[in-house]
A and B are shown apart, each in its own frame.
Chain A
Amino acid sequence: MARRQLRLTPSADAATRELRGEPAADWNRLESELKAQGCRAGGYRLLGGDGGWSLYCCKHLHGLWRVISTFEPGIVWIVAVGEHDGPQFYKRLSDELGISGVGRGREQKPACCGDDGWPAIGTTRAGGARAEMSPVVPSQSP
């Protein structure tokens, strides 16, 4: 199967070049997996601001490093790469909302792709964020 084209936003490109050690090794591995497997290597689908599925997926690298991606047929977009202070978030969740330790282990659910390819989750309206570009076609596996 043809390998996917990898497109990184300038800031994501810069962030990946500054990675060192284990996060860098994870990124190198992920880069190959994304080119070979597309959204199946994208981690989990993020929820949007309205509570529905968003256009973006999140993959954890070593430590607090996160890779935010989205997909088009044959193209993998790396939208952002950076550190998310997850422990601080979960502490705040516990202290202020009384929700302790839940939400962890997101890597397993829900998958970035969905059963029927990309976007194929709920009411995701992929492509809306970039009207000037080709919309993401549902039910394909980029």
Chain B
Amino acid sequence: MSTTLPKPRQLQRITALAHLDAEELRIEIENEQATINASSGSAVLGRAELSALLDSLARLTERLLQTLDVPIGVTVDQAAERLDVTTPTIRKWLKDGLLRRIEGRKPVEVDPRSVVELQRVLSKVRDSFPARQWSRALAAYLHDRDLQSQAWVAAGRGEFERGEFVER
């Protein structure tokens, strides 16, 4: 390991990457907690023990994120590398709101949580919609998101969830 202290700029980059990993860990834990809460089956660990374990991990992660709670995001290059796309694509996704930028940071920096969230969506979409081109799978996802955000769909889903119906 080098004994040379990183320069401030390098430290910022390291912090950004650590933040990215911490966000990923947090989302992973949130998902596991949701799975446990939704499951009625038995597991290797008792439900209470497993839940306590995850609570502990969640607290740890929260502390880590508080330590790293500085308005520093990942660079466009870092986001592109993590998501396996080009930097122009990252800029387009920022413009479209698929990714969030850190306000006031120049050059542009990307909110780590938005990177992890999008990474998970892309991964799942690629599994769910096995197209040769990832862009086709993403377009399908965006299309369906757009369709389901229409007011008439939201109204119908609300009625459906309340069990309101007319029979024919």
Binding site for B on A (CB under 8 A): 5-13, 15, 31, 46-54, 56, 58, 66, 68, 70, 77, 79-84, 86, 89, 93, 96-99, 102-103, 106, 110, 121-122, 129-130, 132-133
Are B168 and A89 in contact, with the CB atoms below 8 A?
A: no
A15 near B161: Cβ-Cβ < 8 Å? no
| A7-B165 contact in complex given A77-B160, A80-B157, C-beta closer than 8 Å | yes
- Is B168 within 8 A of A122, CB to CB? no
Evaluate contact between A9 and B159: CB separation under 8 angstroms. Answer: yes
Q: Point out the residues of chain A lying under 8 angstroms from B139, CB to CB.
A: 93, 97, 99, 102-103
Find chain B residues with CB under 8 A from A79 CB: 153, 156-157, 159-160
Complex alpha-carbon distance, A47 and B122, angstroms: 12
Where the two chains meet, the residues of B that have a C-beta atom closer than 8 Å to any C-beta of A are 88-89, 92-93, 95-96, 120-125, 127-129, 133, 135-136, 138-148, 150, 152-153, 155-157, 159-161, 163-168
Q: A9-B160, A31-B168 are in contact. Are A68 and B96 (CB under 8 A)?
A: no
Chain B residues with CB under 8 Å of A89's CB are 142-143, 146
Report the nearest A residue to B142, measured CB to CB.
A93
Nearest B residue to A131, CB-CB: B161
B152 contacts A130, CB within 8 Å?
A: no
Q: Which of B129, B155, B165 contacts A47 (CB 8 A)?
A: B129
User: How far does the alpha carbon of A12 sit from the alpha carbon of B150 in the complex, in Å?
Assistant: 13
Overall SS of chain A's interface:
mixed
Contact across chains for A47 and B125 when beta carbons are under 8 A apart: yes
How distant is the Cα of A15 from the Cα of B128 in the complex, in angstroms? 31
Top-9 shortest CB links A-B: A80-B156, A51-B124, A82-B152, A103-B139, A9-B159, A51-B125, A7-B165, A51-B121, A13-B166
A130 touches B153 (CB 8 A): no
Most interface-central of A9, A10, A56 (chain B CB within 10 A): A9
Q: How far, in whole Å, are A52 and B150 apart by their CA atoms in the complex? A: 19
- C-alpha spacing A99/B123, complex, angstroms: 18
Partner of B120, one of A8, A31, A51, A68: A51
B138 to chain A, nearest CB (A): 7
**A49 neighbours in B (Cβ, 8 Å):** 145, 148
Residues of A near B128 (CB, < 8 A) are 47, 51-53, 121-122
Residues of A within 8 A of B153 (CB): 68, 79-80, 82
Contact in complex: B155, A46 (CB < 8 Å): no
**Shortest CB–CB separation between residue A98 and chain B, in angstroms?**
6
Instruction: Write the nearest CB–CB distance from B38 to chain A, whole angstroms.
Output: 8
CA distance A84 to B146 in the complex (A): 9
Chain B residues contacting A83 (CB-CB under 8 Å) are 152
Known A-B contacts A9-B164, A13-B166, A96-B92; A52 and B143 likewise in contact (beta carbons under 8 Å):
no
Which of B96, B141, B150, B167 touches A51 (beta carbons < 8 Å)?
A: B141
Measured CA separation A130–B156 after assembly (Å):
13
- Contact B144–A47 (Cβ < 8 Å): yes
